[in-house]
Structure 1
Amino acid sequence: MAAPTAYAARCAYSLVATDLDGTLLRGDDTFSDRSLHALARVAAAGARHLVVTGRPAPRVRPLLDILGGGGLAVCGQGAQLYDAGSDRLLWSVTLDRELAETALGKIEAEVGEVYVAVDQDGVDGLTLIEPGYLMPHPTLPALRVGARDDLWCEPISKVLLRHPTLSDDELAATARSVVGSLATVTMSGPGTVELQPCGVTKATGLALAAEHLGLRPRDTIAFGDMPNDIPMFDWAGRGVAMANAHPELKAVADEVTTSNEDDGVAVVLERLFP
């Protein structure tokens, strides 16, 4: 990677890492003109923008086209490092089916039946949902299967869970208490509690991407809104939570900006990259 320009050197950060849902994206799954202009300032300064999201690579590709098309993205909660320019995964890790089913069995022994979906690995992987599962993002495509066994027809990067009565916080807390080292439990948005390969987080994916780009934690400012962004904040030089963020993330953030609907990412970037 080329060295940051002198203009970028005047800013403390040469890597801007942003979550998508609830952070850079508005509720209607669009980017505001103000956010796009702010990211253009980042690029003009010689710094890099990196999407770090729970969405799998196939669900990120159309959004990256709007953001410029090329570059890297950390997808699947850190399980995938995607190169948009060549439309390939530079790195990915999958969740073993046996471990996933064992983890699900432990969770259901505590809370009763949960509804399950999976994201398949790969740049063309599908999101499969079992009967009863409702997509928290109705705009995202998913294929309904006939039974849970049909979810495991291809390697997967993560499992998504929903409970008919428990809150996300309650379901995530119970899952963490019983899953142990079988998987990493994350909560990434309303109706989105997830199981991913043990030890994989947004921080592990971000660290891999930053190493690929020749950048360090102290070079990085990260933006997010949910508890799954906590490891990313712990890794980065500065963490900025949105006004709409979960209280757990706000508690560890260095700064709280305005909401995703009020261009919170742009508010900070305009200050850092005038």
Structure 2
Amino acid sequence: MAAPRIVFADMDDTFLSTDKTVCRENLELLDRLAEKGVPFVPCTGRTWRALPAEVLLHPATRYAVTSDGAVVMELLRDVAVQAASPDAAGEADVELECVGQDRSAVLARRLCLRAMGKERTLALYDRLEGVPCTFDVFWGGRVFVERWRYDLISTFDIRPDEKRAILRHRTPVDAFVPELVEHLGGVERVSLYWGNDALTPDILSAVDADETLHHTHSSARNLEVMDVRTSKGAGLEWLCAHLGIDPAQAIAFGDSPNDLSMLRVAGSGIAMLNAYDEAKAVADCVTAYDNDHAGVARHLRGLL
């Protein structure tokens, strides 16, 4: 493959090490991409606010495909907090966050939204009534969950590093989902986690009852639920069209079932050495190193 014009990468267990940090070699890769003017695009199930500060603040990261492709964001840095305030700007599609040790302001502008919406979210919530699972609502760069469901997460048999990340990036609320959704005004997607395999058939049945939704996952006993048009691959295609780049000139890295669509769409889809078998099956090739040994940076070293 020729040198890519744009790089897309999943975050967890792909660009990030298992402990959720960014290794030195991957940070050096971002420096090199910035020098060459090649955009680095996190393509993740996370919200943009949940991106590591080193990635979010780096000049190579000008865009992000988040919430599994439900949202495409443009990221602007070096802005004054007052000037960047969404209230001051009067723009509903602008979000502000101060990150890093120096609390640098990042202005995120929503370029594309394929929302799950309130009506389908509430219908799914009703179908899952009484099921002891989380019901995580993604909107505006944040993830909200009813407090009693948030407390359930600590009881689930989830990998410790993943459990810490789930808890850290969720905001427990005392309101129930119908009240919460009405207050938020929208829903990008919903995430479900549960702790008992016996619940899986009922949860799948509740989600599959609506043909306008589809689901994927990035770990065991987890579903990421979204509009049927939404995927990381669709987000990749949209951003490439927006930037005037042929997807054939894109390279994408991933490890999980929620990465399959972008691995198929990109001109070069690369599965991590530590990837699920499903990801390796659709990828053009597999990295020689896993996510704990800078697999992304080492693969790109010879292409840049």
**TM, length-normalised to structure 1:** 0.82
- 2:123 corresponds in structure 1 to 102
Q: Could you say which residue in structure 1 is the equivalent of 2:145?
A: 128
Is 1:270 paired with 2:291? no
**Which consecutive residues of structure 2, in runs of 5 or more, have no partner in the other structure?**
77-106, 155-161
Q: Is residue 89 of structure 1 aligned with residue 106 of structure 2? A: no
Percent of matched pairs sharing the same residue: 27
Give the match for residue 197 of structure 1.
227
Q: Structure 1 residue 215 and structure 2 residue 236: aligned?
A: no
Q: What are the Cα deviations for residues 164-196 of structure 1, in whole angstroms up to 9, with x where unaligned?
A: 21299x569935982442312121235542111
**Distance in 2 of aligned mates of 1:167 and 1:23:** 30
Paired residue total: 259
- The answer as to whether partners of 1:114 and 1:161 remain within 8 angstroms in 2 is no
Q: 1:24–1:31: 8 Å Cα contact kept in structure 2?
A: yes
Q: 2:135 aligns with which of 98, 117, 128?
A: 117
Distance 1:218 1:182 in 2: 29
Partner AA of 1:87 in structure 2: A
Distance 1:178 1:19 in 2: 26
Q: Flag structure 1 segments of 5+ consecutive residues without an equivalent.
A: 1-9
Aligned counterparts, 1:1-274, within 5 A = 11-60=2-51, 62-68=53-59, 71-85=62-76, 86-106=107-127, 108=128, 113-123=131-141, 125-133=142-150, 134=153, 136-139=162-165, 140-146=168-174, 147-152=176-181, 153-154=183-184, 155-166=186-197, 174=204, 178-190=208-220, 192-257=222-287, 258-273=289-304
Supply the AA of the counterpart residue of 2:270: V
2:102 paired residue number:
none
Pairwise CA RMSD: 2.8
Alignment partner, residue 87 of structure 2? none
Go from structure 1 to structure 2 and tell me whether the alpha carbon gap of 1:232 and 1:117 turns closer, same or farther (over 3 Å shift).
same
The aligned amino acid for 1:122 is: G
Q: TM-score, normalised by structure 2?
A: 0.75
Question: Who is 1:4 aligned against?
Answer: none
**2:230 match: secondary structure:** coil
Distance 2:202 2:281 in 1: 18
- Shift of the 252–209 alpha-carbon distance from structure 1 to 2, 3 Å rule, reads same
